[in-house]
Amino acid sequence: MLMVATIGCDRVTKRMAADFLGEAAPRSFMNDTVRFQYAENTGGFLGLGAGWPAEARTAVFVVGNGLLLIGAIVFAIRSRWSGTALVGSALFVAGGASNLADRIARGSVVDFMILSLGPWRTGIFNVADMAIMLGMALVARSFWGRAR
């Protein structure tokens, strides 16, 4: 259920970003702490690889991502993860799968959020990216908690 909700939320917010932000100027809230701005990312995290040839991007960001997600699922099942680790892996896989669906269907991923706090500003991202990062943090936290 968590995976379906994560993918659904990502798909809906990306669609809304395309509909409402696609041709519009960026929208800023709370003194530019939150900014909504439409972007299509043909690269990976923070645009890494966006300038690569299409074949290289496909190999890394479609085939490689697909294999990584399959590996994560197999590893979580074989390791019999539960609790925080299982929730984290579900978020990681759901976010990765939703971004992978974009890459397969569009050749790019829709990004639309930027956060800032004082001089610190994130790169542009989407809900799937948040799920991936939160999932990784939960998996890491579940293992750090065991090591003590």
**129 a catalytic residue:** yes
Joined together, the tokens standing for residue 134 give 């939160």
- Tell me the pLDDT tens digit for each residue of 23-66: 899 999 999 999 999 999 999 888 889 999 999 999 999 999 99
**19 a catalytic residue:** no
Q: Name the active-site residue from 10, 19, 102, 111.
A: 111
Instruction: Dump the DSSP string for 68-94.
Output: HHHHHHHHHHHTT--HHHHHHHHHHHH
pLDDT of residue 121: 94
pLDDT of residue 87: 97
pLDDT of residue 145: 63
Joined together, the tokens standing for residue 107 give 């050749």
Dist. CA 58–CA 29, nearest whole Å: 36
Q: Hey, how many other C-beta atoms are within 10 angstroms of the C-beta on 145?
A: 11
pTM of the predicted structure, to 2 decimals: 0.91
Q: Name the active-site residue from 19, 32, 102, 129.
A: 129
pLDDT of residue 46: 80
Strands 120-121 vs 27-29: parallel, antiparallel or unpaired: unpaired
Residues of the chain with pLDDT under 50: none
Q: Hey, how many other C-beta atoms are within 10 angstroms of the C-beta on 142?
A: 18
Q: Where are the beta strands (DSSP E) in 14-75?
A: 27-29, 34-41
